[in-house]
Amino acid sequence: MHIHPDALAVARTFAPDQPAILNRPHAAARAAKFFVENFPGRSLYAVKANPSADLLKVLWDAGVTHYDVASIAEVRLVRGTLPQATLCFMHPVKTPSAIREAYGVHGVRVFSLDSLEELEKITAATTEANDGVPPEDLTLCVRLRVSSEYSELSLASKFGCDLTQAAELLQATRQVADSLGICFHVGSQAMTPHAYVQALERVRAAIVDASVTVDIIDVGGGFPSIYPGMEPPPLEDYFGVIDRTYESLPVSYSAELWCEPGRALCAEYNSMIVRVEKRRGEELYINDGAYGALFDAAHVGWRFPVRLLRDGVSDEVEGFSFWGPTCDDMDHMDGPFELPSDIKSGDYIEIGMLGAYGAAMKTAFNGFDATQVYTVSDEPMASQYRGDRRDPRVSDNVVSLR
């Protein structure tokens, strides 16, 4: 595998006709080691964020042994890529056939649920997969609905049982589970550690109401990365708050603390080179867009960091919007994306921090699905893990005592 120094070198050497994905394995490995060494519990990689087999191997080599899978396709992918990994089927609504295959063929023992209906489904499907004998090795995590008010993208509507229904579900699940867990998700890109405090207080109420022994508390994902206009506190602050709140919960003396980072482990893994095909005032027509790796930029207004890959650029900067390559007016990204004012057709742009959900959301709509892939050795445009990041809570004229 040839490793190129950076995006500019790739653009100059290959002048790619198609969007070019740039992989940074060192950045993903660094993020994984940070979680493994600093989170006060076990870290499960949320595979949906980026299901690349190459990335899975990087994370495994960096110490991530548990994987949050949300479909039978993800179960097969991770089991085929990492035969020794522990797989946790954390989608709260699964088909019976997926449960049977996961349990009987792939050795999955961890499942999540948010209803009595799903509990009955898991019990029946795993019993069938276990030659008609009710299994005694299930770890079942009841998903609790919590607020997403502190996150950029909400995950509060689709899954999770209400606190008023949690006691009955926890008591019923305790009867069939070897290990009982409670999980939740505060939403994607949680911008304050308080999101987890609020959620864990709801967990406390659920445990007290149900009067059950709980073996696992899974705080889910939501750990933030850095994007323009989104400068979260350091991850150490999140870990510290979670640890202190968890330690006061009424759980088993041998209980485990879990988390499910997705974006936080893979955002810095990828960037992308696109080419400007046309300029119309402050609008740039580029060769990737809403149906490609820039899905989030179009559909949820995500602003990714950008830079022009050319020497001798203007010092003056403008805010540009992007049009993608398809014949669809929805293929538009408002931005604004700050770029030199002299950008023109034929120029190349690097779009950073696309490792989370970029490749995962890409489609072949209108025939625009071709990409080229290169490995580079430079740093991502922003990082939570290098140790040189300025604390956004501290003004420039105040010294931080952290």
Amino acid at 179: S
- Residue 329: how many CB atoms within 10 A of its CB? 8
Query: What is the C-alpha separation between 108 and 158, in angstroms, rounded?
Result: 24
Query: What is the C-alpha separation between 118 and 141, in angstroms, rounded?
Result: 11
In sequence order, the 6+-apart residues with CB closer than 8 A to the CB of 22 are 7, 10, 270, 271, 272, 273, 350, 373, 374, 375, 376
183 is catalytic: no
Query: What is the C-alpha separation between 400 and 79, in angstroms, rounded?
Result: 45
Amino acid at 153: L
Q: How far is CA 206 from the centre of its chain?
A: 26
- For the chain, how many residues are written? 402
Report yes or no: 350 and 7 within 8 Å, Cβ to Cβ. yes
Query: What is the C-alpha separation between 24 and 175, in angstroms, rounded?
Result: 46
Report yes or no: 296 and 334 within 8 Å, Cβ to Cβ. no
Of all helices (H) and strands (E), which one includes residue 337? strand 332-340
Q: How far is CA 335 from the centre of its chain?
A: 22
Pairing of strands 216-218, 179-183: parallel
Query: What is the C-alpha separation between 272 and 288, in angstroms, rounded?
Result: 9
Q: How far is CA 363 from the centre of its chain?
A: 19
Beta bridge partners of 181: 141, 216
Catalytic residue among 141, 161, 183, 327: 327
DSSP 3-21: EES-HHHHHHHH--SS-EE
Q: Which residues are catalytic?
A: 327
